[in-house]
Amino acid sequence: MLNRRQFTLASATALAALALANSGRSFAKDEKVGRLRLPIDPEGLYNVQSISLVVSDVLGNYLLESLVYLDEKGQAQPWLAQSWEPSADGKVITFKLKSGKTFHDGTPFNAAAVKFHFDTVLDPNSASPSKAMISALESVETPDDMTVVFSFSRPFAPFVNLLGMSYFGFNSPAAVKAAGSAYARHPVGTGPFMFSNWVPGTSIELVRYPDFKQYRPDAKNQGPAYLDRVILNVLAEEGVVASALQTGELQAGQLTADAVQPLQSDSQYHIINDQNAKNLMFMEFDYKKPPFDDKAVREAISYAIDRQAVLAAAFGGNGKVALGPLSRGIPGYDDVVAQKYGTPYDAEKAKELLDAAGWKENGGIRAKGGAIAKFTVRSYADSTTERALAVIQANLADVGIQVDVGTADWGTFYPGLLKPDWDMDLNRWTWSDPNVMSQLFRSPGHRQLLPANAAIDNALDASDTALDPVKRMQFVSDAQKAILEDRLIIPLLTDWPITVVRSELQGYRLDFLGRLYASDLQIAG
């Protein structure tokens, strides 16, 4: 909870930041303006180039639309698609599109636009991180303006559900071609809001798309957005966000459990605690480097981490510790497997495993054959991540392992995982389908470091190709077991995002994927 001095300082900082965000901007008195928080500045707003959460949120909430959405049960429903039909062997899926949709630049949304997006993702020159998500996709054909045919090298069970994610929302091909490398700063989609202005590190401004047609039946507003304008203010500090919400300079924003406490009993705030979150925070290793090629060392480090302490420090305890490699919110999570094969906190067992592996304590730090247990841990820059890293660093020191921690923005951190200058990383992914395990952990893995493991690879391949949903979930369980038995990663926790919404901002709802129904937002009165 903020003390008086902290609150005053945070208030002043928030007002200054928000004043800067709106400096030089004048709005009509009768304009309805929504002011929401971004925790960090996006590295760019082009889903072919980035899969970071903040980029996905901005694009998916306001600017882009997808072929399908996922309903409250996680089942794919038509959005820009009218229907789809798989072939008998599951290697071809034919989509029919809804007509009448246009991009913000006036160009039509059609089969050519769908093909353009997927061809760009698949193009090696794009170096798109989304390509690995749809690795089985071979080609996209367009028999006519409203028909798209996807062909795969093998049956690919998760494909339709994956289309609901903002990674596969559609950009105007004309705008992408015209802007070239500058497109990520001037996105053009079909969503309820259009890009207007970006002050780097400060704010992103969006304006209402007057010709918007809502094709999602689960949205309450089937026409253009109620708000005239949305200002997304880049505010990193929790105290600043809490203060801005209290002063009314911000109408909605995510906070951790600790920061939200002063607001919890006030009826002017609506607090949304997403306990069905689909994220997983976990640690990985450079498996090509000793000692991380030794399963016993990986297992020892896994036992050394106090997950409950990490959750408390990073998220105020708001979430669940994780022992399994799949988030609880994703279909197929197997708690029986997690409890049986996971590694709950046990520092003494960690020490025993390290001793047995030949890493002996010597003056507070372990050593083996002249090698010293001093390693690096890298992660993405975020206040919650930094608090988590502090606990992890202390936990490892307790068992005789020293780590140097370092952070960078996602656009630097994630590509940097392909470079050989780190030992461990702290990562966090949000996904909708158990296929996330294939994206990350099927050899060679998302960092191109994993050795082949038949038990893991075979289970993941089977889970991706099984078209029978019951059989698929059994393979998903098998994969979780195999990943845990190999101590491939250290699952840590799933946090439950808390969003605070001031009462004057009405219609704030999130779907199964945490996507905001932005066209439903309105200002009371």
State the CB neighbour count (10 A cutoff) for residue 358. 15
**Could you give the maximum distance between any two Cα atoms of the chain, in Å?**
73
Tell me if 196 sits within 8 A of 207, measured CB to CB: yes
Tell me if 48 sits within 8 A of 122, measured CB to CB: no
Beta strands at 193-199 and 279-285: parallel, antiparallel or unpaired = unpaired
Q: Looking at domain 279-495, what is its CATH homologous superfamily?
A: Dipeptide-binding Protein; Domain 3 (3.10.105.10)
Helix axes 383-398, 307-315, angle to 10 degrees: 150
Block residue for tokens 């901007």: 25
Tell me if 357 sits within 8 A of 296, measured CB to CB: yes
Q: In Å, how far are 131, 141, 144, 154, 464 from 138, measured between CA atoms?
A: 11, 10, 19, 9, 15
Alpha-carbon distance of 312 to 171, in angstroms, equals 40
Task: Please list the pLDDT of the chain residue by residue as tens digits (525 residues).
Answer: 344 344 444 445 545 555 545 544 566 678 999 999 999 999 999 999 998 999 999 999 999 999 999 999 999 999 999 999 999 999 999 999 999 999 999 999 999 999 999 999 999 999 999 998 998 999 999 999 999 999 999 999 999 999 999 999 999 999 999 999 999 999 999 999 999 999 999 999 999 999 999 999 999 999 999 999 999 999 999 899 999 999 999 999 999 898 898 898 899 999 999 999 999 999 999 999 999 999 999 999 999 999 999 999 999 999 999 999 999 999 999 999 999 999 999 999 999 999 999 999 988 999 999 999 999 999 999 889 999 999 999 999 999 999 999 999 888 898 888 888 889 999 999 998 999 999 999 999 888 889 999 999 999 999 999 999 999 999 999 999 999 999 999 999 999 999 999 999 999 999 999 999 999 999 997
Q: Nearest-5° angle of CA 339, CA 341, CA 346? A: 80
State the CB neighbour count (10 A cutoff) for residue 435. 25
Domain residue extents for the chain: 4-46+179-274+498-523, 68-168, 279-495
Q: Would you state the structure tokens that stand for residue 401, as one six-digit string?
A: 């392992």
CATH 3.40.640.10 for domain 4-46+179-274+498-523: no
Q: Would you state the structure tokens that stand for residue 502, as one six-digit string?
A: 């001031």
Q: Nearest-5° angle of CA 433, CA 414, CA 234? A: 90
Cα–Cα nearest to 520, from 195, 215, 225, 207: 225
Alpha-carbon distance of 34 to 509, in angstroms, equals 14
Topology annotation, domain 68-168: Dipeptide-binding Protein; domain 1 (3.90.76)
Fold match between domain 4-46+179-274+498-523 and domain 68-168: no
CB-count exposure of residue 458 (10 Å: 0-12, 13-18, 19+): middle
